[in-house]
Amino acid sequence: MCMVELVVTDIMSKASDHRAHVLLLSEKQGLRKIIVALGFLEAQSIAFALRDIKTDRPLTHDLFGGITSAFGIVLQYVLINNISDGTFCSQLCYVKDDEEHFIDSRTSDAIAIALRSGAPIFIDDELLSRMCIRDEQNGAFSIPITAADEATLRVAIENAVKVENYELAHKLKEEIEARHAAQNSACCNNTDTNK
Q: List the chain pLDDT tens, one digit each, 195 residues.
A: 799 999 999 888 765 555 578 888 999 988 888 888 888 888 999 999 999 898 899 888 999 988 998 999 999 999 999 988 778 999 999 999 999 999 999 999 999 999 999 999 999 999 998 888 765 555 555 566 666 667 777 877 887 788 887 877 787 788 788 777 766 766 555 555 444
Total-model pTM: 0.71
Residue 195's pLDDT is what? 45
43 burial level (CB within 10 Å; 0-12, 13-18, 19+): buried
3-state secondary structure of 144: coil
Residue 111's pLDDT is what? 96
CA dist 24 and 11 (Å) reads 6
Residue 141's pLDDT is what? 55
CA dist 72 and 38 (Å) reads 29
As a dihedral over the C-alpha atoms of residue 40, residue 8, residue 16, residue 145, rounded to 10 degrees, the angle is -120
CA dist 50 and 10 (Å) reads 10
Residue 116's pLDDT is what? 94
**pLDDT tens digits for range 74-102:** 999 999 999 887 789 999 999 999 999 99
Q: With the C-alpha atoms ordered 136, 15, 146, 39, is the resulting torsion angle positive or negative?
A: positive
